[in-house]
Structure 1
Amino acid sequence: MKLSGLCLVHPYFGIKDTVDESWIFVSPTTSGLDDFRYNPAADSRMASLGCTRVLICLAEKDVLRQRGLYYYETLRKSGWSGEVEIAETEGEGHVFHLFNPNCHNAEALLKKLASFINHS
């Protein structure tokens, strides 16, 4: 199977020099900042990401917003040759679309995801 694209909705990744307690709880055997599952910049294979397009969905008031931006910048600087796009929803917090799936912003997010998936 060949992937053409990847959608990340309100992603959780580490930022630069900090390892938070949530990550240690989820992955107690983690090596910390050099664990590529936590810190994408630690993954030497990032430039060979197995797709040609990435959509990163962020929410303006999400406490993890900066982590999505960090992934975006890391991917752009990795040498990966694909297209990366950010779609940010204004005025919303983390996973707002799960708590209020019928709101206008959730519907707009779903349409954005569908458009990305249907674009081959």
Structure 2
Amino acid sequence: MAHHLLIKAASFQPAPKIEGAILLHPWFGGNTLMEGEPEAIAKDMMAKIWEFACPSAVGGADDPRMNPLAAGAPGLDNLHCERILVCTGEKDWARPRNRAYYAAVTASAWRGSAAWYESEGEEHVFFFLERPECATAKQLMDRVVKFVSGS
């Protein structure tokens, strides 16, 4: 959702000023399995979840709202913010797509700055209900706070 908002914001007149965006364990989709993605999640669950979440999606999980790297998706140079922080877990099933997104953003003509943060040994959204008080959740929060403060 954050990525889609950053793309949409550029079309508003006047365009809002967005200093930064944090993609905290994003979940991007795709119809084609990426290297490193667990097949069960990427193929079966991805199709079912996106069909439920967005039944009007053109191309299923390759709809640009779900897969910013899909053919026909708006160019990443259209991101409307100055900075992005992409966070994931080392063992996050979504890590391959999150890493590919970060790599594509940094390789694009976008003029902002991008940062990557990976929580060692952690799964997808580990900080939410499972272990919000653990040391790695606190480290992640410290990184988010540092980003918000401009570092």
- For structure 2, list consecutive stretches of 5 or more residues without a partner in the other structure: 1-15, 34-45
Cα 1:16–1:77 change in 2 (3 A) is farther
Q: Per-residue deviation at 1:49? A: 1.0
User: Is residue 77 from structure 1 mapped to residue 107 from structure 2 by the alignment?
Assistant: yes
Give runs of aligned pairs for residues 19-98 of structure 1, distance below 5 A.
20-32=47-59, 34-41=62-69, 42-98=72-128
- 1:24 and 1:30 in contact (8 A); partners too: yes
Indicate the SS of the match to 1:79: coil
Cα 1:78–1:16 change in 2 (3 A) is farther
Q: TM-score, normalised to structure 1's length? A: 0.88
Q: Per-residue deviation at 1:45? A: 4.1
User: Is residue 8 from structure 1 mapped to residue 23 from structure 2 by the alignment?
Assistant: yes
- 1:40 and 1:74 in contact (8 A); partners too: no
Instruction: Give 4+ residue runs of structure 1 displaced > 4 Å after superposition.
Output: none
Provide the C-alpha distance between the structure 1 equivalents of 2:111 and 2:118, rounded to a whole number of angstroms: 23
The one-letter amino acid paired with 2:103 is: E
Indicate the SS of the match to 1:40: coil
Indicate the SS of the match to 1:102: coil
- For structure 1, list consecutive stretches of 5 or more residues without a partner in the other structure: none
- 2:77 and 2:110 in contact (8 A); partners too: yes
- 2:76 and 2:108 in contact (8 A); partners too: yes
The one-letter amino acid paired with 1:36 is: P
The one-letter amino acid paired with 2:111 is: S
| Aligned CA-pair RMSD | 1.9
Give runs of aligned pairs for residues 102-117 of structure 1, distance below 5 A.
102-117=133-148
Provide the C-alpha distance between the structure 1 equivalents of 2:102 and 2:31, rounded to a whole number of angstroms: 13
The count of corresponding residues between Structure 1 and Structure 2 is 120
Q: TM-score, normalised to structure 2's length? A: 0.72
